[in-house]
Amino acid sequence: TDRKKLHTAPVGQVFRLRPFHVLVATGGGYAGYRKYEDYKLEQLEKRGIEVPVKLASEWEVALYKSVPTRLLSRAWGRLNQVELPTWLRKPVYSLYIWTFGVNMKEAAVEDLHHYRNLSEFFRRKLKPQARPVCGVHSVISPSDGKILNFGQVKNCEVEQVKGVTYSLESFLGPRVSTEELHFSQGEFSGNSFQQQLVTKEGNELYHCVIYLAPGDYHCFHSPTDWTVSHRRHFPGSLMSVNPGVARWIKELFCHNERVVLTGDWKHGFFSLTAVGATNVGSIRIYFDQDLHTNSPSYSKGSYNDFSFISNNNKEGIPMRKGEHLGEFNLGSTIVLIFEAPKDFKFNLKAGQKIRFGEALGSL
């Protein structure tokens, strides 16, 4: 009689499964499973075993998209900006260096205590002599990374990895009007989107895809002497862009957030696209203060344009080969699409590691 009665609520009132919880749990678990599959594929590739292409179905892509990667990326960005106590910096950064194979001997500041937070460490600068810029070849690598694919663009399709393509028009968006570019469209252009980008007779359209791993140098530079006339920002998903996922999801780069810079070089059309990824929602272009990526909300399939040609600046933004252009907050992907004469040759092999300043190709 002295015992107190224990009142309990029904289980359903204590814990209610909401759709958001189910999506996060299911999507997160599936993303973990895909990471394990990617690891197995990487091991097979290291052993020289060719891996057959197996594309994701629509429901698998939808399930992956259900993971709130944009929210997680913004949270990761805020975490990266938290100042670490001096005594904690070396253990945290040393773990990162060991995990991703970072070469700190190339860093302008090797002392790990100098970097107040993870964001500063990710965006560390290199010693001037660490990345000599090739002066012989006309196009250099804009960043450190791994060459996923390169070659001529054919039938308005571009390969993100061998055997997996995406639409050139979906990736770049509708063609920029010739009034916004300070070169006029050539009389030899045809009706297809690919032909509209080629401004000179005898030229072809080429592409090159470079994947930046988390341990790579995170700044990117101008790959050649060119003039940037236009910027197009596509808000979108922030799925992983590592080679395993790029092999699995068709048109991955068209799903993800990206910043497309277009303009011209001595041979005609030239573009550089910075593609965002999980934990890399922040893409910064140094000369573009109006660009804001990974905003909390956006309209699906939307994009916004900005022209660098104005009454006061009729030429656009001139960039010199090797000049600082922008940065990621972690690793991601750079895609170059440009026109050049038919005798342009790439000095590359698919899958090779490359560093900023090394040659991509030349005439």
Q: Which residues does the annotation mark as catalytic?
A: 144, 221, 332
**Which residue has 């804001």 as its token pair?**
292
Which tokens in the block code for residue 185? Answer: 């469209």
| Both tokens assigned to 191 | 């009706």
Contact 332, 267 (CB under 8 A): no
What value, to the nearest 5°, has the Cα angle with vertex 278 and ends 229 and 153? Answer: 45
Instruction: Work out the end-to-end distance of the chain between its first and last CA atoms, rounded to an integer number of angstroms.
Output: 96
- Shortest CA distance to 143 belongs to which of 356, 334, 286, 329? 356
SS3 at position 106: helix
CA 161 – CA 149 distance, rounded (Å)? 6
Instruction: Report the SS3 class of residue 310.
Output: coil
> Residue 45 to residues 49, 101, 121, 216, 351: CA-CA distances in angstroms?
5, 19, 30, 20, 10
The CA-CA-CA angle for residues 254, 247, 197, to 5°, reads 40
Q: Are 336 and 142 in contact (CB under 8 A)?
A: yes
